[in-house]
Amino acid sequence: MKVRLIVIVALGLFVSMVSPLAAASAPLDAATLKRIEAIEPQVIAWRRDFHEHPELGNREFRTSKIVAEHLKKLGLEVQTGVAHTGVVGLLRGGRPGPVVLLRADMDGLPVTEAVALPFASKARAIFNDDEVGVMHACGHDTHVAILMGVATVMAAMRKDISGTVKFVFQPAEEGAPIGEEGGAELMVKQGVLENPKVDAAFGLHISAALQAGKINWRPGGAYASVDDFRILVKGRQAHGAYPWTGADPVVASAYIITALQTVVSREMKLTHNASVVTIGKITGGVRSNIIPAEVEMIGTLRALTPKDRAHLHDSVRRIANNVAESLGTTVEVKIPMSHGYPVTFNNLALADEMRPVLDAVAGSDNVVSNPPVTGAEDFSFFAEKVPALYLGLGGRSPAITEDQAPGHHTPTFQIDEQGLVLGVKALTAVTLSYLGTRSSEASITP
């Protein structure tokens, strides 16, 4: 009798110990999948509404109001006005456990839409003193709709959740207006990772190039750091007919731009260390026969590790100063000029843990490893503080090739809405898996 009891207890302990693996292989039960399928039409409707009414960074007033009202209807604890227009909804599960942050960015871009959709944007707004068209040209409308769907699904099962979920709807991912703070950096500064303290963060970004139904996945550095920079070259003004009487900052600028190309081509290990040094604007002079006193250059730096980021900063300063001195001019170098984002780093252990979850949700053939991206993401400010995983979600119609897909940040950007439901499944699955696994581990800790 005692032997039989010991066997039963041991078997029960074994089952509880392997339950995290079982949860990973089947992260969504039939009831949850049914809820997700039922919410899909509403997710698409939300997306179309947000697409038709885009708002620029720190001005997402309508969007945040709709989000906040929805989260309140779900019974979440809702905080508004975070980092200007951000919304945070807190879902407390029926049992104690860790805290997971899920994030969606809400802002559109100063782009005039050129896609003939019945819900195309006709919005106009003021951006840095200019009137511009406004468009969701990077898919943030889909991110908001997907996360609202996830909140709906998880609110219906809160009593079965072990832990807490923070739904973070973030403004100004594309950058705050000149003279303002914003985005994830300001949310972190204002304490979004505290009260309760966040244990892990998840997010996703739709891709117009990746086929709908697929997920991009990459451990480590996924999106590059970004720093804008300014080089002011100071010379000595002179008549264009007598250049020897001055010190020409135009010529110095040309040499500096050429020399900066050697940072990537000659200083970085190209097979491992992708990086970018780009000058995007150069301004100087007023007419053909006057050598100006100064020339301004502004540009962007991208790197995929903190070490490479620091190397780029040092090299740009060194080259600009040395080249300028050799030509009798001086420089002022400011890095960053206005803002910078760190590398978006996917925690290696968390990525490894969630790979089988993603395989179960999307099918292993549909979870693809992607190369690092030299675009940047301010989700990096969350990932800098807590273990995080940021995924790519397919949004390309199977009817077109990757080469035919419209570019992000362009007037013709568009996505295939059939990919949105996978976004709801993926974020729900990784959240439930993370919370459930740790709850199970806690239950067997002696």
Closest C-alpha to 264, from 211, 304, 218? 304
| Rounded Cα gap, residues 234 and 249, in angstroms | 6
Contact 316, 277 (CB under 8 A): yes
Q: Which two tokens mark 421?
A: 């439901």
Torsion of CA 312, 256, 328, 336, to 10 degrees: -40
User: HEC string of 279-324?
Assistant: EEEEEECCCCCEECCEEEEEEEEEECCHHHHHHHHHHHHHHHHHHH
- Hey, what amino acid is at 84? H
Q: Which residues lie below 8 Å from residue 388, measured CB to CB, with a gap of 6+?
A: 200, 201, 202, 203, 345, 346, 347, 350, 379, 382
Active site residue 341: yes
Active site residue 223: no
Maximum Cα–Cα distance across the chain: 108
CB atoms within 10 A of CB 25: 12
Closest C-alpha to 388, from 429, 441, 347? 347
Which member of 60, 185, 377, 417 is catalytic? 417
Q: Which two tokens mark 150?
A: 């996830």
| Rounded Cα gap, residues 41 and 420, in angstroms | 10
| DSSP conformation class of 183 | H
Which member of 341, 377, 390, 434 is catalytic? 341
CB atoms within 10 A of CB 103: 27
| Rounded Cα gap, residues 33 and 26, in angstroms | 11
CA angle 348, 349, 355 (to 5 degrees): 90
Residues belonging to the active site: 341, 417
